[in-house]
Amino acid sequence: MSLAREVYAELERVVGTRYISDRPWILAAVRAPQPNTPMKPPSPEAVLLPGSAEEIQQIVRICNRHGIRYIATISSLIGFAYPSGPGTIILHLKRMNRLVEVNAQDRYAVIEPGVRQGQLRIELMRHGLSYPVAAVGPGGSVLANFACSSGDSHCQYGASRTNRYLLGIEWVTPEGELLRLGSLASEAGWFNPEGPGPSLRGVIKGFVGQWGGMGVVTRIAIGLDAWRGPAVLPYEGRSPSYQLRLDPRLHQAYVFKFPTLEQCRDAMIAIGEAEIAQAVLKYFNASAALLATESANDFWDLWRSGLFQRELARPLYVYLSAFTPEEFAYEERVLLDIIAQFGGEVVDERILRIYRDNMDFYVLVGALQRVLRLGGGWAPAKLSGDSIGHMIDVGKAVPEFMRPFIEQGRVLDALDNWQVIPLEYGHAAHIELLFLYDRGQANWGQVPMDFMRASMQADIRNGHHGTMPPRTAAAGAAIGALFSNAHVWAGRVKDALDPERVSNPF
Amino acid sequence: MDTLADFRHTMESCNHCGQCKVVLGPKTKGYDFAEICPIHMQFHFDAYSGQGLLHIAQELLDGVFEPEPALRDLVYACTTCGACDTNCKSIRDMEVMDTILALREHLVEGGHGPMPQHAQMAARVERTHNIYGRPHAERAAWAEGASATSAPVAYFAGCAASYQRTDIARNTLRILAAAGIECTVLGADEHCCGGPLWRTGQRAAAERQVRHNLEALERRGVRTIVTSCAECFGTLRGFYPRVAEFPFEVRHISEVVQQALDAGRLKLSRPVEATVTWHDPCQLGRLSEPYVPWNGEIRAFGEHVPPKAFRRGTEGVYDAPRRVLGAIRGVKVVEMVRNEENALCCGGGGGVQQAFPEQARTTAAERVREARSTGADTLASACPFCQDTLEAGLADGGGLRYRDFTELVVSALEP
């Protein structure tokens, strides 16, 4: 199916000839299969580069009129924004990339979709401000994460989920109305998401980010936190061997190991009770080895040495930062007391040195996509949130379904390649299990489906909230009850706001 | 390992992460100057980026669509600056630049490339051994009186310094003499380095230049080649080893000067009052690491057997020009945000200046905007092709002038 010429012409009149294309090589760049799947996504019918909310309104209305489905995107990492069927157009919002305002006094920034994580985080440091930067690498869209994906990062221990930082919102609804939400609705500025004015910040996200998302968010304000580091990041070296060092009297990285996951969990909770630290997490070990090396061969040398498996099976990563040396000294004393209380000890010096020599892991995670380096399949099987205790329980149950895959040689032998990131000083936590598989094996495309199914069945058996909430009817029927059947409610909201089901359909 | 099909692993490995389009995170300095791909900055479609070109190459190889002139125009809009390659290789083991070059070769082999301007250039090189079509007999006119005998060190001037910017060639010889380095010039034995042909996909024609120059160098007993042109430098180190055994050391004049300064064999005693910002030419910086042939196998989970020496842009010539310029009394060196391995291309590379001069000017204007933001009064570099493009971008004046590295060094030498 391709767009009728008159529809294409109608869209072309909105954005101009330069900013629309249906040539096959333009489409080739947005329909390539991801390395983790053998399935080529359906091709979009056209790619558009709108330049304003007004243009998006017109495009969305045309889509509603002609039953054309649309998906708005920026980087399209890991296939979250691919067409799910024919008759879909892609709205690439990269021309809408203005940093509209940084309000240091009221601590918010107003951004358009094309502003990237790397740009905003570093720009805000000049103002002594920061925000929870999603662990997607510097090229990811800030707006997409705050408004749609709510991806978490390593440094959210003293912060919260990104969608809670949303303030004023400018939104093109699935049917093409332009709404301003929160305080923006009554021209009171960007400072408040709830009002005066309507608050729909839970609705714009749709079901799970882009999968079923509602309309197109064209501008948002995000609340900002204090940045305790320097206005300009001090780095040495060149890609890929750069190092970022912060003043060790105010910033320090620690990696501890624990005899049991329960002790690791209890230390996490105790650190939260003490309300210290910027980052506290149990991190992946295979992914850590990938981040620590500069080629696949280097990774294999390290992984085969067994160091990361041995030292980082039950680790606790901590990043302390403070405004003054005295404050830092206090936090460090409290931390070391807690670690000792729960039986933790410092990991091998070689590992500790990696993090102390390069604090980027806690700042921008500029090299994050190294976790994809091995070039084959890579996917998260667990991607959900609950309490710290529950998330650790989910992690403890990983071997029961993962071990057969390892024994059959279908996935990398990395049982401990999962992370738990506590948020809000331990009031909530996020889990993620990454499994890696090689494309050279027979029926490699079946591996992720089999693995995720086994993971979901384990959650059902154990009553665990580990699986990403379902997006398909079949998955909803299987596991929806574990999530209060929220998918049913989400479907009803979708029907009300997007009756033609043209916005981010799945 | 240079045909399009050899790069399947790269094409199939791309996760669409976008790193090929933006400066490596910690090297960003803020909101401005964060984009790195000159074509993506102008055209915005993913197709105009390293990632997009990989996926175009994949579908072309799979026969999903056939080449046609509009596709050729897109592929040749790329400046082959390698920013995508270096940024991708900060996190992955993918060969983005080599895939793009192989894509161009694929188009040429199929009769769908290069651009007409590039084919005309190749015809000129075939006829006159230089890219301008000027008489070969004039190639060494700039070097009147210079030694053309055998010597272990040769100065390879290149087409631009031999014909268009002869001041660079003369300045280079003067600097070498001041440093006490005896050298030979190839004179009429020197042909185009082949770089402009290689980067426009005309590999067979490029290889002919390589073989001729290698023979000329070997005949004179040369062991070290000195260049003042970034294009020649990057080609000698990055292309020649793909064609034949390459037993030569290649040094840029900035490295030679730095070494001479360190050894006390050269003095820069005359002051030069200037605030200089250095534009890292792609072929002198991130793309200048020596190519090491590799014909191995990529096994499970990306393991390269035998291990491969990746060219990640780490060891480009970045320090030498900065240290030399910084050693001149009165010169203050200030940095652009996009520098060293993250430098923004001038806009004219890969044949873009010839085929799409307007596009090149737009990129150059962006680079000039960045240079002006540093407060510099001098934009310095060491590439006559960057000079052509950047001077077009400087056309409105604005208190910034372009000066070649060799000109600044000669200004600081005793008369």
Write out chain B residues lying below 8 Å of A74, CB-based. Answer: 18
Average pLDDT of span A198-218? 74
Minimal-distance CA residue of chain A relative to B26: A366
Nearest by Cα to B333 from B396, B403, B399, B391: B403
CA dist A348 and B412 (Å) reads 53
- H or E element at residue A420: strand A418-423
Closest CB from A31, A92, A366 relative to B26: A366
Write out chain A residues lying below 8 Å of B71, CB-based. Answer: 23, 25
Residue A471 has pLDDT above 80, yes or no: no
Question: Count of alpha carbons within 13 Å of B146, Cβ hemisphere only?
Answer: 27
DSSP letters, B29-85, are -SSTT-B--HHHHHH-STTSSHHHHHHHHHHHHTTSS---HHHHHHHTT-----HHH
Cβ within 8 Å, pair B92-A30: no
Please, are residues B212 and B139 in contact by the beta-carbon 8 Å criterion?
Answer: no
% of chain B exceeding 70 in pLDDT: 99
Cβ within 8 Å, pair A28-B31: no
Peptide bond into A315 cis (omega under 30): no
Residue A197 has pLDDT above 70, yes or no: no
Cβ within 8 Å, pair B25-A118: yes
Question: Which pair of tokens denotes residue B337?
Answer: 């945000």
Using one digit for the tens of pLDDT, what is the confidence trace for A251-270? 999 999 999 999 999 999 99
Minimal-distance CA residue of chain B relative to A73: B46
Closest CB from A30, A139, A412 relative to B19: A139
State phi, psi for B351 to the nearest 5 degrees: 90, 5
- B313 Cβ contact partners less than 8 Å away, ≥ 6 residues apart: A238, A239, B82, B85, B86, B89, B285, B286, B287, B289, B341
How distant is the Cα of A376 from the closest Cα of chain B, in angstroms? 6
How distant is the Cα of B306 from the closest Cα of chain A, in angstroms? 10
Q: Does B95 touch chain A (CB under 8 A)?
A: no
- H or E element at residue A91: strand A88-92
Average pLDDT of span B368-395? 96
Query: Which residue in the block uniquely carries the two structure tokens 């079509």?
Result: B133
Question: Count of alpha carbons within 13 Å of A158, Cβ hemisphere only?
Answer: 20
Q: Does B14 touch chain A (CB under 8 A)?
A: yes
Between these two residues, A355 and A365, which has the higher pLDDT value? A355
Per DSSP, the three-state class of A194 is coil
Write out chain A residues lying below 8 Å of B23, CB-based. Answer: 118, 138
- H or E element at residue B96: helix B96-109
As for the ipTM of the complex, it is 0.95
What does DSSP assign to residue A503? B
Sorted by where each begins, the domain ranges of chain B are 117-262
CA dist B102 and B57 (Å) reads 9
CA dist B87 and A169 (Å) reads 33
Q: Does B309 touch chain A (CB under 8 A)?
A: no
A-to-B residue pairs, Cβ atoms closer than 8 angstroms: 210
Antiparallel, parallel or unpaired: β B153-156 and A418-423: unpaired
Query: Which residue in the block uniquely carries the two structure tokens 């490029």?
Result: B206
pTM: 0.96
Question: Which pair of tokens denotes residue B399?
Answer: 């208190």
Cβ atoms < 10 Å from Cβ of B379: 27
Using one digit for the tens of pLDDT, what is the confidence trace for B157-169? 999 999 999 999 9
What integer pLDDT is reported at residue A209 of this predicted model? 47
Write out chain A residues lying below 8 Å of B302, CB-based. Answer: 296, 373-376
Using one digit for the tens of pLDDT, what is the confidence trace for B101-137? 999 999 999 999 999 999 999 999 999 999 999 999 9
Residue A490 has pLDDT above 90, yes or no: no
The residue type of B375 is G
Q: Look up the CATH number of domain B117-262.
A: 3.40.50.1860
What integer pLDDT is reported at residue A37 of this predicted model? 83
Cβ within 8 Å, pair B17-A374: no
The residue type of B281 is P
- H or E element at residue A497: helix A486-497
Using one digit for the tens of pLDDT, what is the confidence trace for B263-303? 999 999 999 999 999 999 999 999 999 999 999 999 999 99
Bridge partners, B378 (sequence order): B276, B401
CA dist A78 and A90 (Å) reads 16
Task: Choose, out of B90, B112, B288, B335, the residue to mutate when testing the contact with A (most A CBs < 10 Å).
Answer: B90
Question: Which pair of tokens denotes residue B214?
Answer: 């290698």
- H or E element at residue A271: helix A261-274
Antiparallel, parallel or unpaired: β B274-278 and A20-21: unpaired
B184-185, strands of its sheet edge to edge: B184-185, B153-156, B224-227, B249-252
Q: Does B174 touch chain A (CB under 8 A)?
A: no
CA dist A151 and A371 (Å) reads 16
Q: Does B24 touch chain A (CB under 8 A)?
A: yes
Q: Does B137 touch chain A (CB under 8 A)?
A: no
- H or E element at residue B379: strand B378-381
Write out chain A residues lying below 8 Å of B90, CB-based. Answer: 239-240, 366-367
Q: Could you tell me the domains of chain A?
A: 5-92 (3.30.43.10), 99-226 (3.30.465.10), 235-369 (3.30.70.3450), 375-468 (3.30.300)
CA dist A316 and A322 (Å) reads 20
Cβ within 8 Å, pair B25-A137: yes
How distant is the Cα of A464 from the closest Cα of chain B, in angstroms? 30
- A306 Cβ contact partners less than 8 Å away, ≥ 6 residues apart: none
Angle at A375 between CA A369 and CA A376, to 5 degrees: 120
What integer pLDDT is reported at residue A352 of this predicted model? 97
Rounded to the nearest angstrom, the gap between the alpha carbon of residue A499 and the centroid of all alpha carbons in its chain is 29
pLDDT tier at A33 (50, 70, 90 boundaries)?
A: confident
Q: Does B299 touch chain A (CB under 8 A)?
A: yes
Question: Which pair of tokens denotes residue A235?
Answer: 């780095």
Query: Which residue in the block uniquely carries the two structure tokens 């005693």?
Result: B269
Nearest by Cα to B22 from B342, B251, B307, B332: B342
Of A226-240, B16-30, B51-65, B96-110, which range is least confident?
Answer: B16-30
CA dist A146 and A161 (Å) reads 8
Torsion angle, alpha carbons of A454, A459, A465, A469, to 10: 40
Cβ within 8 Å, pair B304-A296: yes
Cβ within 8 Å, pair A123-B31: yes
Cβ within 8 Å, pair B301-A360: no
Using one digit for the tens of pLDDT, what is the confidence trace for B219-228? 999 999 999 9
